[in-house]
Structure 1
Amino acid sequence: MDRNQATGLILFAAVLLIYSFFFSSPEPVTDEQNTTTTEVQSTPESQAKPQETLSLPDSIQALQNQQQFGEFSTAASGNEEMISLENDLVKITFSTKGGEIKNVELKEFKTWSKEPLILLDEQSASIDYQIQTSKGPLSLNQFYFTPSKSTTTVDEAAAQQLTFTAKTTSGSIKRTYTLADGKYILSQNIATSGLNSLTDQSITINWQDKLKRQEADIKESRRKTYVNFYTSEGDYDYLSASSDTDQEQVANPVKWVAFKQRFFTSGLIAENQFSSTSLEQVVPTDTMSIKDMSATLALDLNNGQANNSYYFGPNNYKILKKVTADFEKNVDMGYFFVSWVNKYIIVNLFHVLEKFFSNYGIIIVLIVLIIKLFLFPLTYKSYIGMAKMRVIKPEIDQLKEKYGDDPTKMQQEQMKLFGQLGVSPISGCLPMVLQMPFLFAMFFFFPNSIELRQESFLWASDLSTYDSIINLPFTIPFYGNHVSLFTLLMTVSQIVYTRFNNQLTAAQGPMKNLGYIMPVTFMFVLNSYPAALSFYYFVSNMVTFGQQALIKQFVDDDKIREKVEANKKKNANKKKSKFQSRLEEAMKAAESNKKKK
């Protein structure tokens, strides 16, 4: 390298150093440059992150709350927390936002899929208490409450108490809940003080609930689910259980409203009354809920206070009876002519047996035996009546040969023959008729008995639903897509009993065949009913069959014939009774009118 080259390199290096020192310092970043840079550096990951909500300054937020809520503005901000009341039966969770119920769990029960039984939760239900103010209707769920827990006693039983307090600029609102040990009832007291902006001394309650599915058989669950209500005048009513949609505006004040499912009920009960009530229920198109229900009620404030209570629990007749007037009607005991059997006999008998036996199949067998023993005198009389009709069959056959072409004369001569022989044609039927209330009562008791829920016996995993042994790939009209074994056994036993009964009575004609048609009909009807009901009828048939076989061993047809002959001689010159005379006159009149036509 010569001297000139060396001098040139030195000068070039000097120029670079000077340029970098004076001209290469970083420039200030403009708004446009900053925006551009941010957009370039933005990535999918950064975009996916939630952006923070810009909070208004406290002064501006307070001003907005004041404009929207008036004196309640101080309660319009806060933090939401969950707090619970719990006893051995139920756990109820509340939110400090509104001081409202958010979740109800029945601790002693599980769903059909063996999961915790949540009767009500925040996703499926909402309860909203609204007050009328100068700012319009305001929901208590918009306000934040301060909770405090304490203990107390209710009817000499220990109880937990939870009080929610919301302060206003001039007063306060308090919601006090009380849950006693061993109870499904949650009582509530609402107390207001110093509220200047209230324009109406009543609280509007809006309750909406998509009733959660608790049982496997959704069809039967929907059939047994509907809104019940009871007026202050003592009238019980309900929305249609069969209609997909039903609603009603109740004209009279209401004492209680219940969202009744097959085995569980959520109920709202007034200490005095709800002054206005609107109810609605809808069957949803999906299977996520059983039915969608809603109730809107008005609860009056008296001296700034109102009291009501909730029932969250099972449809157990004895438990419901202690809740409030006629609340036990949430368990369907049947029509008036059979309900007395369930209310006063079967329910009490069932609970007595529960104390000694844990297997409900055995309990059902014992109920059959006890009822059959109680009704045995009627069964015996029925058998004797049928035996008498069997013994006099030759005389009846002679009348048929002689007067077969004249029905009226035939009936007259039959009545005359019965009177002479001391035989009543209804003597064999009347005792059976007197037993019918017990048979029909079971038709209501077993499908509504929560005691049988998820209780197994033999091959039936759940006595409260059908015991399917075969699932069919198709559906048979009026029968279903499954085969219930207890129903089949009941049908076979009824056919065997009918055959035995026909031999006892020497039945002929249509009556003989009718006995075989009825069991087959019941097979279709009962196939989808609870296994407990079919099992009860099966055991009942077998016990009845055994009773009649036993009676047959001690009843001699020859002795009955001797008694009939003695009656024939005794009544040979006996005058016709007034009833028999009137009956013959009526038959003659009917025959005369028939000939005229």
Structure 2
Amino acid sequence: MEEKKLDINSIIGFILIFGILVYIMYTNQPTPEELEAEEQAKQEQVEAEKKAAEATDTKVVSSEDFTVPSPTDSLKLEALKGKLGALAYSSTLPSAKDETTLVETDLFELKFSNKGGYLSEVKLKEFVNYDSIPIYIIKDGNADFNINFGTSDNRTLNTRDLYFEPSVTKNGDNTVVSMKLKAGPDKFLEYRYELKPDDYMMDFTIRSQGMSNVINGSQPIDLNWDLKTYRHAKSISYENRYTELVYEYDGGKDSYLGQSELSDDTEESVTYVAYKQHFFTSVLLADEPFATANMVSKNLVQDEEIDTLYTKAFSSKLPLEVKGGEINKTMDLYFGPSDYKVLSSYNRNLDEIMPLGWGIFGWINRYVFIPLFGFLSGVFPYGIAIIVMTVLVRIAMSPVTYKSYVSQAKMRILKPEINEINEKYKDNAMKKQQETMALYSKAGASPMAGCLPALMQLPVFYALFMFFPSAFVLRQKPFLWAEDLSSYDTIYHFPPGFSIPFYGDHVSLFPILASIAIFIYMKMTTGQQMASQPTQEGMPDMGKMMKYMIYFSPLMMLFFFNNYASGLSLYYFVSNLITIGIMLVIKNYIIDEDKIHAKIQQNKKKPKKENRFQKKMKEMMEQAEQQKKAQQRKK
């Protein structure tokens, strides 16, 4: 059956009839017949409003929100004009009450306030927080949306203090909510919201009609948007780390305000401003960029034991342009998940809101890990998908691991000869360096060869470090003892009031397992590097420093990741286990150190062709050696 559209004229008609009946009853002594007619008219009005609301799939809190203004009290209007000028008209209407209009879609439950005309409550129906409480982005006065403007009679007004008249209609399958600040029957400033089925993005327009003689266009008109972001995650410090203000400016560039106590930035030609709350985001997008934007971010979490309600306070001041005496600014509003797939689907550069890493790190996440994990999580449970992806990454990086291990083996085999060179030329540093470089060149080995594979793996490791905290699909997905792969797992809670500095009030098992795996891995690799790397005269004892790192790195991992997403700790645990296994296989079944030694000896016998750079370096070192000998003879 085709859905009926809301007939606003029918509603107006019923309300006018009801007003006339009330007026007659007030001025004349009612008869029983008149009382009966009044009751019947009231019942018809209620039924009509109920049917109209059902036809629009909306829930209306108060039917008075949709009434047409009755003849205004002239004395009241004159008194209000002394305060509000032409906009006093808005305060004489029946909508001049602290009431809200409730509208629901598949994804939202929204409340529009008569006072201020903006959204006073935004509930995301499909999500709950860590404590199973529905996700509210706006509620209980944590947001402010205000236009500050001057009037032609030299007043300065704020829309937050004025009353708007609401109406709800249909535009095809879309629901249109209109909030009008009226200066007369046909003069108004309107906030127009158009909600689409199954869409987190809504069309939003600020426009005026007949207000050229009311609004002073020669003075700045500023749109101020403020939001204090609610805490939604178990760890407020972890959530706050990924809560930030992101904006796009200058034709596609993006930037953000950092994690400092108070951040302030002003940019020109701003396309959108996003208040990102780790896993949920509010975005205001403009079809034509704002000329300028002043943005402020303030950290509200000073003490995790006390500051548990909000994470940050965001504020933006955006100028509105007046053309022909009127305002007409078309925009969009997004209230929804910080999900890469959802944000990128709008083709508005909103995927830059996600902290996927800059440069090559973001590229790897966008084109490799996000599609790969999306495929794997569609086949396996999320925890298994992480393990499978880790296995695939480690297999892909195994050739690099192999080269690194071969390089370490070569250096370990050459160590006795390097020690001989150090002893033979202990009083001649220049000659010692020449002979050492010649040995490396003949043997086909280099102390840097072991570092290069590690540097090649760095983009992959860092990309994954950025991927897991940004993976919305892991939110509230359990695995083994972890209740939520996007938050920390807990195997023990300390007694109330007890907390270890930098560690927390709980014990997470995945970071412990990851730390143990890292310790074993570093014991294997760092121990071999210590055995193969000779100590250079005048240089720090790297062996001693690496020995400390064997214990320091796992301890740092344990403390740092105790409040991080358990999915990330799971990845590091599995990744290091696989790496240890690969290295054991390479050591015991692939690499033959006797063959490597024999190959090195063969390489040493072959005449080594020097390139131009090597020849130049050799000549420079020989000249330096001759100058040193000449200086010694003079002495």
TM superposition score normalised by structure 2? 0.76
Give 3-state SS (helix, strand or coil) of 1:457's partner.
coil
Looking at structure 2, the residues matched to 456 and 586 of structure 1 have their Cα atoms a distance apart, in angstroms, of 64
| Higher alpha-carbon deviation: 59-68 or 580-589 | 580-589
Deviations 1:268-289 (A, max 9, x none): 1211122343333333464332
Q: How does 1:74-473 map to 2 (within 5 A)?
A: 74-76=89-91, 77-79=93-95, 80=97, 81-135=99-153, 136-141=155-160, 142-152=162-172, 158-165=173-180, 167-169=182-184, 171-173=186-188, 174-195=190-211, 196-200=213-217, 203-243=221-261, 245-248=262-265, 250-284=266-300, 286-302=307-323, 304=326, 305-323=328-346, 325-357=348-380, 359-404=381-426, 406-472=428-494
**Structure 2 match to 1:484:** 508
Q: Describe the SS at the equivalent of 1:375.
A: helix
Measured in 2, the distance between the counterparts of 1:586 and 1:464 equals 57
After superposition, residues 53-72 of structure 1 pair within 5 angstroms as: 58-72=73-87
Matched to 2:593, the amino acid is D
Q: How much has 1:491 moved relative to structure 2?
A: 1.8
Instruction: Return the offset for 1:575.
Output: 4.4
1:16-55 aligned within 5 A: none
How far has the Cα of 1:233 moved from its partner?
A: 4.3
**Counterpart of 1:192 in structure 2: which amino acid?**
S
Counterpart position of 1:513: 547
Distance 1:461 1:411, change over 3 A: farther
SS at match of 2:446: coil
* Residue matched to 2:561: 526
Computing the radius of gyration over CA atoms, which structure comes out larger, 1 or 2?
Answer: 1
The structure 1 residue matched to 2:525, chosen from 483, 497, 501, is 501
Deviations 1:39-81 (A, max 9, x none): xxxxxxxxxxxxxxxxxx9332122234444443333222345
Deviation at residue 390 of structure 1 after TM alignment: 3.1
How far apart, in 1, do the equivalents of 2:100 and 2:519 lie? 61
Native 8 Å contact 1:350 1:363 kept in 2: yes
Structure 1 residue 539: Cα displacement: 0.9
Partners of 2:276 and 2:510 lie apart in 1 by: 29
Report the alpha carbon displacement of residue 147 of structure 1 after superposing the two structures with TM: 0.2
The aligned residue for residue 564 of structure 1 is 600
User: Which residue pairs with 1:13 in the alignment?
Assistant: none
Does structure 2 conserve the Cα–Cα contact (< 8 Å) formed by 1:279 and 1:295? Answer: yes
Paired letter, 1:193: Q
The aligned amino acid for 1:206 is N
**What's the CA shift for 1:481?**
4.5
| Deviation sequence 1:498-523 (CA, Å, 0-9, x none) | 23335655445634525514333333
Query: What amino acid maps onto 1:237 in structure 2?
Result: S
1:390-428 Cα deviation digits (max 9, x unpaired): 333443343344334544433322211122222233333
Q: Which runs of 5+ in 1 are unaligned?
A: 1-56, 153-157
What is aligned with 1:28?
Answer: none
2:614 to 571, 577, 580: 580
Q: Deviations over 1:405-459 (max 9, x none)?
A: 5444333222111222222333333222101111122222222332222222222
1:576 Cα shift? 3.6
| 1:406–1:537 Cα change, 3 Å | farther
Q: Does 1:541 align with 2:565?
A: no
Q: Answer with 544-553 or 448-457: which moved more.
A: 448-457
**Matched-pair contact (CA < 8 Å) for 1:467–1:485:** yes
What is the match of residue 49 of structure 1? none
Q: Could you list the runs of 5+ residues in structure 2 that have no partner in the other structure?
A: 1-71, 536-541
Task: Name the SS for the 2:184 alignment partner.
Answer: coil
Residues 87 and 537 (structure 1 numbering): CA distance in 2 closer, same or farther, change over 3 Å? Answer: same
Instruction: Name the structure 1 match of 2:60.
Output: none
In 2, Cα distance between equivalents of 1:587 and 1:310: 67
Q: Distance in 2 between matches of 1:407 and 1:451?
A: 58
Q: CA RMSD in A?
A: 3.1
| CA 1:209–1:68: 2 relative to 1, 3 Å | same
Deviation at 1:167, TM superposition (A): 4.9
3-state SS, counterpart of residue 131 of structure 2 = coil
SS in 2 for 1:268: strand
With over 3 angstroms needed to count, the CA separation of the structure-2 counterparts of 1:217 and 1:586, relative to structure 1, is farther
How far did 1:543 drift? 0.9
- What is the deviation of 1:323? 4.2
Q: Does the C-alpha gap of structure 1 residues 131 and 515 become closer, same or farther in structure 2, counting only changes over 3 Å?
A: closer
Q: Given the superposition, is the C-alpha separation of residues 242 and 72 from structure 1 closer, same or farther in structure 2, using an over 3 Å criterion?
A: closer
Residue identity in the other structure for 1:554: I
Quote the offset at 1:337 in angstroms.
4.8
- 1:589 Cα deviation from its structure 2 partner: 8.2
| 2-structure distance, mates of 1:162, 1:555 | 71
Task: Report Cα offsets for 1:483-506 as digits up to 9, x if no partner.
Answer: 332222222112212233356554
Amino acid at match of 1:556: D
Contact 1:148 1:164 in 2 (8 A): no
1:43 is aligned to none
Change (3 A) 1:585 1:105: farther
Q: Which amino acid aligns with 2:238?
A: E
Counterparts in 2 of 1:439 and 1:589: CA distance versus 1, 3 Å = farther
Residues 92-133 of structure 1 deviation map (CA, whole Å, 9 limit, x = unaligned): 221344432111111222112110000112422221234432
* Amino acid in the other structure paired with 1:412: Q
Distance 1:539 1:379 in 2: 16
